[in-house]
Amino acid sequence: MVTQSEVAKRAGVSFITVSRVINNKGNVKEETRERVLEAIKELKYYPNSLGRGLNSNKVNTVGIVIATLMGVNIHGNQFYNELMSGIEGICIRNSHDMLISTQKKYPGVEYDYLKLYYERKIDGIIMVSPNIPESQLRQIEEERIPCVIIDDHSDEHRISYVDADNREAVNLAGDYLFQKGHRKMGFLKGVENNRNAQDRLAGFYDVIAKHNLDLKEDWILEGDFTVEGGRDALRKLVAQNNLPTVLLCANDQMALGVMAEAKNAGLKIPEDLSVMGFDGIEAHRYTTPILTTMRQPLVEMGVAAAEMLFEQINNTDYVQEIRIFPVELISGESVKDVAG
Amino acid sequence: MVTQSEVAKRAGVSFITVSRVINNKGNVKEETRERVLEAIKELKYYPNSLGRGLNSNKVNTVGIVIATLMGVNIHGNQFYNELMSGIEGICIRNSHDMLISTQKKYPGVEYDYLKLYYERKIDGIIMVSPNIPESQLRQIEEERIPCVIIDDHSDEHRISYVDADNREAVNLAGDYLFQKGHRKMGFLKGVENNRNAQDRLAGFYDVIAKHNLDLKEDWILEGDFTVEGGRDALRKLVAQNNLPTVLLCANDQMALGVMAEAKNAGLKIPEDLSVMGFDGIEAHRYTTPILTTMRQPLVEMGVAAAEMLFEQINNTDYVQEIRIFPVELISGESVKDVAG
DNA sequence: GAAATAAATGTTAGCGCTAACATATTCAAA
DNA sequence: TTTGAATATGTTAGCGCTAACATTTATTTC
């Protein structure tokens, strides 16, 4: 294993000169620099990031904690993929690698979102769809740990986050459905303890109130953000023998399940039931009919989160930053126009 | 920042005793152990993995290099997702985090697949769909770097890999199509420099030869593994005004593109043209008609790769291991039975 | 109860690197 | 020249941790 000292010996200088060349710090004569660089090349020297990190407190690594990767898949993989690709681009630009936490998640046991930070001395963390215990939120705030949360947030802590305007988005969706003539709207909820699932449900209640629609409890279905959950919900809905004209789903995965099961149940979409999704994952484009959905700008959200994180990493003064992204309606073929 | 020494002071012992407790190494009196554990808890001590790694050469981290994450998306994200989730499960079980390389990929410049290993002192690397330069392959072999390659391989080096039996799989697909009565088969190729794309094409030639079919050059189309590539290919095929009865695509992404574009072109699938995919990504289930495809057991392949890697990490003697997974035909609705 | 053994704890050195200070060399201005 | 600054290089210490050896204390054996 090649160390700095060996490079130094080869180049006929002291090891600190090698360090200077590598980090471009301090003055080094051009001729010496070249000699060192050549030695580095010849010996195939790579600086050891452990030794380096140990006293510079800089490891050029961003930690990422994703709920999916903890065995809980809230949105379907596509969702995280697009976020990741946004995050990755900014990490590349900043020469940071990405470290993914792989703690086991036990039901009922508090997940340690900060372990990665304390143990690995990473420069900052991005948390996607987390469910952070109060005590850890406080720690992040108090210790000014560089951190950006995506797809969840707390109003009680000065922690930066990136999110979509979920409530407003459901309002837009509802307005669209209303405009298409729908008056009997059903809603397929996401998991209860998720902040955004709550916001989406709240948005639905807004729609009901705003347009003075009937709020039928039977049409508000429990879901869990999975395809299977969507299938279950549709079966339940059909069994009740009283369909709404449209079912608005809290995410696309469930909408896919609803559509697949509708086929089995002999329901035609959108003729017998209109379906609308939420998220805008890739698969929505390949369904027949094409799923109408609300698209979150996920790549952009990932980019924003990473940029915000690097700002925190590079600037000493901690400022909370919040970026709420608008959600866009992607018109497909799964919503019938019953207005005309 | 809490160090081992501070914990030691609190517990009234020397720092090495703390180290012993943490690593469960050497003898420590039960009473002392408890005192130390309590101090750890009180002070919220986390062992610093940098200091630890620096002399133990163990950082409990697996490096992962994925072609997608390098800006080149060969299979579509779903493919990598499933692999990752397999890998992740095994990493969790072995308490290893996953470090993702984020080097920029410049066209024409050799990607350094080993940088992560040399710099970060990670315990091993999994490379997905890589395109490793000869010199680096040699390095892996000579230095016995713990490494498993997924979805690519070289026969000239004793490096462990996991792959699907691509050639055989295309043979199976071809046999199936033949049995369904298809005699005019087209093939949509993947990118040329990819080993598996080559194997799949070779499989197609096997099929042609085996069943004594006409080999029409017009029916062998250039593709690039993307949805857009699929669309382009179908447009080209239609323009030629001489359709095969079935188009076998080298991956699902392209098949999705073919199906989407066929809709635009007024072609009915499978009535006017049968389509078959390859990979078995999730989206294939949501198309209408459901895409018939060859499914690689991706999660299992990820599991196998990770397990093989940990075996290399834990055992000193290096043994090349190769695991070829069978590919399964997933019958959908996109292939017409023209036999009857 | 002395010697041999095992268990429990401590001391020293060093992993590869950078920060901070120290020294040597060059160069320009008086 | 002399001097002071700028440039170039080197020395020492220490980041937090573990390995290897050293020492102390408890336990066994005859």
pLDDT in tens, A199-253: 999 999 999 999 999 999 999 999 988 889 999 999 999 999 999 999 999 999 9
Q: Which domains does chain B have, with CATH numbers?
A: 4-56 (1.10.260.40), 61-164+298-325 (3.40.50.2300), 166-295 (3.40.50.2300)
Give residue-wise pLDDT tens across range A60-94.
999 999 887 666 666 666 788 889 989 999 999 99
How far apart, in Å, are the Cα atoms of A109 and each of A85, A105, A133, B39, B131?
Answer: 30, 7, 11, 21, 42
Amino acid, single-letter form, for residue B74: I
Between residues B160 and B284, the one the model is more confident about: B160
Question: Distance from residue A27 (CA) to nucleotide D5 (C1'), in Å?
Answer: 15
Give the pLDDT confidence score for residue A72 in this predicted structure: 63
Answer yes or no: is pLDDT of B135 > 80: yes
Looking at residues A276-299, what average pLDDT do you find? 89
> Among residues 253-292 of chain A, which lie with CB inside 8 Å of chain B?
256, 259-260, 282-283, 285-288
Give residue-wise pLDDT tens across range B223-275.
988 899 999 999 999 999 999 999 999 999 999 999 999 999 999 999 999 99
Give the pLDDT confidence score for residue A82 in this predicted structure: 85
Measured at the CA of B225, the angle between CA B219 and CA B231, to 5 degrees, comes to: 60
> Among residues 79-138 of chain A, which lie with CB inside 8 Å of chain B?
80-81, 84-85, 88, 91-92, 95-104, 115-116, 118-121
Amino acid, single-letter form, for residue B67: A
Question: Distance from residue A54 (CA) to nucleotide D13 (C1'), in Å?
Answer: 14
Answer yes or no: is pLDDT of B52 > 70: yes
Give the pLDDT confidence score for residue B76 in this predicted structure: 67
**CA quadruple A103, A108, A113, A116: dihedral, nearest 10:** -30
C-beta atoms of A99 and B102 within 8 A: no
Answer yes or no: is pLDDT of B51 > 90: yes
Answer yes or no: is pLDDT of A318 > 90: no
Give the pLDDT confidence score for residue B79 in this predicted structure: 82
Q: A59 contacts in B (CB within 8 Å)?
A: 50
Among the residue ranges A52-56, B100-104, B179-183, B329-333, the one predicted with the least confidence is: B100-104
Task: Enumerate the nucleotides of strand D whose atoms come under 7 Å of any protein CB.
Answer: 7-12, 14-20
Nearest to B53 among A47, A50, A103 (CB): A50
Give residue-wise pLDDT tens across range B286-319.
888 999 999 999 999 999 999 999 999 998 788 9
pTM: 0.89
Looking at residues A329-338, what average pLDDT do you find? 95
Looking at residues B79-98, what average pLDDT do you find? 91
Looking at residues B89-94, what average pLDDT do you find? 94
Per the CB < 8 A criterion, the answer to whether A260 and A233 are in contact is: no
Task: Enumerate the nucleotides of strand C whose atoms come under 7 Å of any protein CB.
Answer: 7-12, 14-20
| Confidence band of B70 (pLDDT split at 50, 70, 90) | low
Q: If you ran DSSP here, which 8-state letter would residue A99 be given?
A: E
Instruction: Choose from A49, A56, A72 for mutation: most chain B CBs within 10 A.
Output: A49
Give the pLDDT confidence score for residue A238 in this predicted structure: 96
C-beta atoms of B119 and A69 within 8 A: no
Among the residue ranges A9-13, A53-57, B113-117, the one predicted with the least confidence is: A53-57
What the block records as the tokens of A64 is: 């990422």
Per the CB < 8 A criterion, the answer to whether B186 and B246 are in contact is: yes
Pairing outcome for strands B185-188 and B246-249: parallel
What the block records as the tokens of B135 is: 């010199």
Give the pLDDT confidence score for residue B235 in this predicted structure: 97
Edge-to-edge order in the sheet of strand B97-100: A322-325, A160-164, A147-150, A124-128, A61-66, A97-100, B97-100, B61-66, B124-128, B147-150, B160-164, B322-325
Q: If you ran DSSP here, which 8-state letter would residue B279 be given?
A: B
Q: A61 contacts in B (CB within 8 Å)?
A: 99
Q: How far is A62 from chain B (nearest CA, A)?
A: 10
Answer yes or no: is pLDDT of B163 > 90: yes
Q: How far is A295 from chain B (nearest CA, A)?
A: 17
How far apart, in Å, are the Cα atoms of B125 and each of B113, B162, B280?
Answer: 9, 13, 26
Looking at residues B119-134, what average pLDDT do you find? 94
For B53, nearest residue in chain A (alpha carbons)? A50
Q: Is the peptide bond before B289 cis (omega within 30 degrees of 0)?
A: yes
Nearest nucleotide from residue B23 CA, by C1' atom? D18
Looking at residues A272-290, what average pLDDT do you find? 88
| Confidence band of A160 (pLDDT split at 50, 70, 90) | very high
Helix axes A298-314, A77-93, angle to 10 degrees: 40
Give the pLDDT confidence score for residue A186 in this predicted structure: 97
How far apart, in Å, are the Cα atoms of B95 and each of A270, B4, B188?
Answer: 48, 21, 42
Cα A66 to Cα A88: distance, rounded to the nearest angstrom: 14
